[in-house]
């Protein structure tokens, strides 16, 4: 019997993937991973300079999008479908964590609403736009970026961020169940603290907060963006064909730890 070796570099061959927030951090690392596995990648981002550079890096396409704007989000997915013929993967990853989002005692309503719009409303808009195409196709994989704080409480609070990611988690679970028999899988990626520009900027302003968080990670370090990208690629691929409505935790053991190693 001849055994054909697996070629994981083509695990996503023929797939068309949309990534929001794809110009930096986990989004960019995932764009690189998707492209390496054979996918056609469409980068959706606000920053035209970094977005175009990211698209060039992965041999993909850039579409400028404000993910809080319904018309722009619809155009992102509709343009992708009309250009490439399908929308097979949607990695709804765009998000913010501004310093004005802090304790509920000090976080004012404008800061709360801004974070909810970018982190939660955008995922609703992107899921809805992607599903229009995936339902017609009878297939698709949606991965929404939630967070480990969606399942745990933190005394170093970012109240709107935490609430928004809890909403992403719940919405992903419901969509995963609702569309399970239509060939569409929906999963929530729950990263632990990841060494991205967003986290580095936040912790540079507050080293004490960084130290308080690092001590709770059993592995003793923050995640690298490439490690999250590998998890996203798995969820996007047929290797995860029986995984939907999941809380897919990639957190270095944080959510399972009572005490951590010395």
List residues with catalytic annotation.
161
Give the Cα separation of 103 and 106 in Å (integer): 5
Rounded to 5 degrees, what are φ and ψ at 205?
A: -80, -15
Tokens 């619809």, residue located: 74
Q: Token digits for 235?
A: 């969820």
Tell me the two tokens of residue 245: 């409505």
Q: Side by side, which strands form the sheet with 61-64?
A: 61-64, 40-45, 16-20, 89-92, 140-145, 184-191, 247-250
């Amino acid at each position: 019997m001849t055994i054909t070796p697996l070629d994981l570099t083509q695990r996503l061959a023929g797939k068309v993937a949309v990534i929001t927030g794809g110009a930096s951090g986990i989004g960019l690392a995932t764009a690189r991973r998707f492209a390496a596995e054979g996918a056609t990648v469409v980068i959706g981002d606000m920053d035209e300079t970094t977005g175009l550079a990211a698209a060039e890096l992965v041999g993909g396409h850039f579409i400028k999008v404000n993910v809080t704007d319904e018309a722009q989000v619809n155009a992102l997915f509709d343009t992708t479908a009309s250009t490439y013929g399908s929308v097979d993967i949607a990695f709804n990853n765009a998000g913010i964590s501004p310093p004005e989002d802090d304790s509920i005692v000090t976080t004012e309503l404008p800061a709360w609403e801004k974070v909810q719009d970018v982190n939660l409303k955008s995922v609703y808009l992107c899921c809805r736009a992607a599903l229009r195409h995936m339902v017609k196709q009878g297939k698709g994989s949606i991965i929404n970026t939630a967070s480990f704080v969606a399942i745990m409480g933190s005394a170093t609070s970012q109240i709107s961020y935490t609430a928004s990611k809890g909403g992403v988690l719940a919405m992903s679970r419901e969509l995963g169940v609702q569309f399970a028999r239509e060939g569409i899988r929906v999963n929530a990626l729950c990263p632990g603290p990841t060494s991205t520009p967003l986290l580095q900027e936040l912790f540079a302003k507050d080293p004490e907060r960084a130290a308080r968080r690092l001590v709770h990670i059993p592995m003793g370090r923050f995640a690298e963006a490439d490690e999250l990208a590998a998890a996203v690629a798995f969820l996007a691929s047929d290797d995860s064909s029986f995984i939907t409505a999941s809380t897919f935790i990639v957190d270095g053991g944080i959510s399972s730890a009572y005490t951590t190693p010395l």
